[in-house]
Amino acid sequence: MLRSRYFILLICTLLVGCSEFQQAVKDAQKDIPPPPKDNYIVLLDLSDRVLANNQQQVAKDLTVINAIYALFKSRLDEKDPTHLYYRATDKIKLLVAPQQSTPVAVFDMVGSLRTELATETPEKKATQVEETQKRLTTVLPEIYKQAVISNRSKDYSGADIWKYFDEDLEDDLDTAAQNTLFIITDGYLDFENGTERPTQKNRYTSCAQVINALKGFTDWNVKFEEGDYGLIPVNKQFKKLKVVLLEINPKPEWNGEYNLLTRTWSKWFTEMGITNYRFVKDDNINEVKESLEKFMKTTIAQKIAPVSWTPVTTDDDTETAPAKPTAITVPAGNANKNSAIIRPLVQSRKPVINTTTDESEEAMAATISKKKEVVPVKPVAAPKKEDDILNDAAPKKGFNTGIKKNKKGG
């Protein structure tokens, strides 16, 4: 009896002790401020920059997105060296810019590529980070397979990044976090439908229009300022937002293309109160990684290897694909069972908006088609013989002609 009472007393003492210890841990944690919160938003431009005959751009996009997620994870590790992330509330998500030609399935799939640690229990936070990183390797390639729809630019509608800033960006921001927007685009910002946002004096609906208006002048930079050239402004302010514009791909025909392109974006950002931004060219992954690290002031611990990509085919591949494609060799050290052979590129940059090329291609296709038409051959009648009564073109003395015609008419 005494033993049982002693045992019960001991258990109660231990329970009280545990309770006091847990409370002491909680009190201690209150004195430690939570780590700063980061909110990463990755916006994809899936317009004609990912033409079916430009699929090496797809491999670049996939590699860059992997680098951004590795950056997110490295930032978490800096805040919590245990890699448990118990107190972390960071989040990252991928989005596709509004675009009519993008299949609905793409928007559905991209919703699974996000991590929101604030909504997860402490013991599952590290698992969520790892699971999202694994999904990137399976879901993301499938998204791009769906996005590659044609070899022709006219089959793609523009990625409406302007519309995203105007209608959606505000809802994606977190007032308690440092918000960073990564935009993966060639930099030309072609709107979905220019008629909805008509030109306002020297304000245009795309960077290409600004460039076309000024590139003929040697003093284009003076005219840009004096004429107030630029993009149509968005009546929103995002003063605490950081922006990284990646994969900028200026056309090589004019030397000032890159400078005017980035100047147009800079003016547009500044008008929205965005002063902290960085432009990163369409470059090799090591250069991109270095640019990200400098801007975000974080070292990416993970090695970023170029992603291999197996080109998808489209209905019009037979019209444009060469008979004997040349292989692009996968760099040493990056080859694996998923390595791919990619055809040489026909078009690697977004063309200036006109239909001359497409119309010529269609005319050529029509000409070839006509040449292939089979014209039925009509039988040629043999000349009539004066002494052939039956008019059957049989020989004069042949058995088939029977009676010969009387030349006197009888």
Q: Give the DSSP H or E segment for 279.
A: strand 276-281
b or e along 203-232 (b: 16 or more beta carbons within 10 Å of the residue's beta carbon)? bbbbbbbbbebbeeeeebeeebeeeebbbb
Q: Residue ranges of the domains in the chain?
A: 35-316+323-354, 384-410
Q: What is the pLDDT of residue 5?
A: 57
Closest CA to 78 of 296, 241, 276: 296
Q: Which two tokens stand for residue 23?
A: 């409370």
Beta strand 38-44 with 241-248: parallel, antiparallel or unpaired? unpaired
Closest CA to 99 of 50, 148, 156: 156
Strand segments (E) across 76-211: 91-96, 114-116, 178-184, 203-204
Q: Which residues pair with 204 in a beta bridge?
A: 231
Q: Which two tokens stand for residue 392?
A: 């059957």
Q: What is the pLDDT of residue 31?
A: 59
Contact 351, 153 (CB under 8 A): yes
Residue 211 exposure: Cα atoms within 13 Å on the Cβ side: 26
The tens place of each residue's pLDDT in the chain, 410 residues long, gives 555 555 555 555 555 555 554 554 454 455 577 789 999 999 999 988 888 888 889 999 999 999 999 999 999 999 999 999 999 999 999 999 988 878 888 888 998 899 999 999 999 999 999 999 999 999 999 999 988 888 888 888 878 899 999 999 999 999 999 999 999 999 998 765 555 667 788 999 889 999 999 999 999 999 999 999 999 999 999 999 999 999 999 999 999 999 999 999 999 999 999 999 999 999 899 999 999 999 999 999 999 999 988 888 876 655 544 433 333 333 333 333 333 333 333 333 333 333 333 444 444 444 444 444 444 545 545 555 454 444 555 554 444 444 444 444 44
User: What is d(CA 49, CA 186) in angstroms, rounded to the nearest whole number?
Assistant: 7
Q: What is the pLDDT of residue 126?
A: 94
- CB atoms inside a 10 Å sphere around CB 100: 10
Q: What is the pLDDT of residue 326?
A: 35
135: helix, strand or coil:
helix
Q: What is the pLDDT of residue 401?
A: 40
Q: What is the pLDDT of residue 219?
A: 94
